[in-house]
Amino acid sequence: MIILFLNCGSSSVRYSVYDWARKESLAAGLVERVTMPGTAITHERPGKDKVSFEKECKDHTEAVKLVVDTLINKEYGVINDVKLISAVGHRIVHGGKFAKSVLVDDAVMKELKEISDLAPLHNPAHIMGIEAAQKIIPGVKNICIMDTAFHQTMPDHVFMYALPYEWYTDLKVRRYGFHGSSVLYCAKRAAVLLGKKSNEVNVIVCHIGNGASITAVKEGKCFDTSMGLTPLEGLVMGTRSGDIDPAIPFYVMSKTGVSPDDMYNTLNKGSGVLAVSGKSADRRDVELAAEAGDQRCQLAVDMESYRIKKYIGAYAAALGRVDAVVWTAGVGERGPVIREKALRDLEYMGLEYDHDKNFSALTKNAESEITAPNSKVKSFVIPTDEEIVGVEDIVAILENRYDVHTKYTYIFEDKNYRNKLRDELFAKEIAKKPFLLKAAVNVPENIKNLVK
């Protein structure tokens, strides 16, 4: 069973192809500058050279066609016939009321269009992607993987805002949360590493990338999360402001004449680490500049890590008991500086941070523990795998055995689950950097033997 997975942005189409029978990724890539001059595709396959070339795509239909044509290309494709694709999955940033992945039909499309205003930067592009797939691969089943679905277990006193109640009933204003597939994967993998069932653990999952969120997972279910109606609320992010006094935009607009649209754009694309540092949203660049003495970059690092620490403390109080703090996504997986500053001095809650382990966890290909052996609360670095969550949801829907995650067991909840490609890449890494094994956990013996 071959699954094509699409993540459509306003001017881009990310894709991946997964072979369920072999349990491995066949290819992944990105079409950039869709609707603009200079459209280009980058196509990657495990163990083979990257393929890149330009081809104009005036809309998402042409972009999806480019993806399909690339996948069946005789020279660098990975399948022989488009008919081998069993289903097309679509990552939907804002899934509104949907509590699980769903097969696309007229009712689903109607609902997605009705909630487009809740995610104007994302959902319209997702809808175009679905319509493009329906046109380019007629008859294939399309399935939506909702980024908000995991968070639908939040109680009302957590997801509600202290605003006029009619805004909730009439306008659907409430906290929805995002990064749901990533949090689901990491929470369930943390349970495996703890030797427990997912409904037995309380974990705090820090998904720290350009977009960043923290989620409090209680007994395997979302209890609270930092992002809200939109992905703007919560942490200091790459270009998003996160939590601010809501009066600030009104004050600045009254003083400067900035329009509401420009203010919205500034809060989403011109704030966060980029604005504070004055240099970049890339934490690697900012940390290097801070180390060299740039005070604004140091301020950006301090602000981001402090906001994370504050949320960890708040969610520890909300959960009552914490079994683990999990780090994932680009910065979470490969940002030891941010992790260290956020985890220091948490001994009061039973978490004893280990500096050497933290700075040994410099890989995106291995699960690692970065706390001391006697730490009552563990901290893990877990490379996220949103693809396997989406693919398994799709396969289960096609086979009529799917249900909400609280009633469904994923293949990666098995303690013996392995990611073949990730193991191969990690083996190559430790052959050159044996120190990576210091923090890594759940490593096969054949990989450990590489350093002996």
Q: What's the rounded Cα separation, in Å, for the pair 248 and 254?
A: 10
Residue 224 annotated as catalytic: no
Q: Is 321 annotated as a binding residue?
A: no
User: 3-state SS string over 34-55?
Assistant: CCCCCCEEEEECCCCCCEEEEC
Cα dist from 283 to 180, 291, 298, 319, whole Å = 23, 12, 11, 30
The answer for 158, left when phi > 0, alpha when psi is -120 to 50, beta otherwise, is alpha
Q: Is 7 annotated as a binding residue?
A: yes
- Give the tokens for residue 405: 């995650």
Q: Is the Cβ–Cβ distance between 316 and 322 less than 8 Å?
A: yes
Q: What's the rounded Cα separation, in Å, for the pair 98 and 177?
A: 12
SS3 334: helix
Which of 145, 209, 116, 180 has the alpha carbon at shortest distance from 4?
A: 145
Q: What's the rounded Cα separation, in Å, for the pair 115 and 161?
A: 18
User: Maximum Cα–Cα distance for the chain, whole Å?
Assistant: 66
Half-sphere exposure of 154 (CA within 13 A, CB side): 26
Q: What's the rounded Cα separation, in Å, for the pair 225 and 252?
A: 28
Q: Is 207 annotated as a binding residue?
A: yes
Neighbouring CB atoms inside 10 A of 424's CB total 14
Annotated catalytic residue within 19, 147, 354, 423? 147
Q: Is the Cβ–Cβ distance between 327 and 193 less than 8 Å?
A: no
Q: Is the Cβ–Cβ distance between 217 and 191 less than 8 Å?
A: no
Residue owning tokens 């380019």 = 136
Q: Is 166 annotated as a binding residue?
A: no
Q: Is 209 annotated as a binding residue?
A: yes
Half-sphere exposure of 352 (CA within 13 A, CB side): 5
Q: Is the Cβ–Cβ distance between 146 and 101 less than 8 Å?
A: yes
Q: Is 208 annotated as a binding residue?
A: yes
Q: In what order do the strands lie in the sheet with 203-208?
A: 221-225, 212-218, 203-208, 324-328, 378-381, 368-369
Q: Is 180 annotated as a binding residue?
A: no
Residues annotated as catalytic (active site), given as ranges: 147
Residue set of the binding site for ATP = 207-211, 282-284
Residue set of the binding site for substrate = 91
Residue set of the binding site = 7, 91, 207-211, 282-284, 386
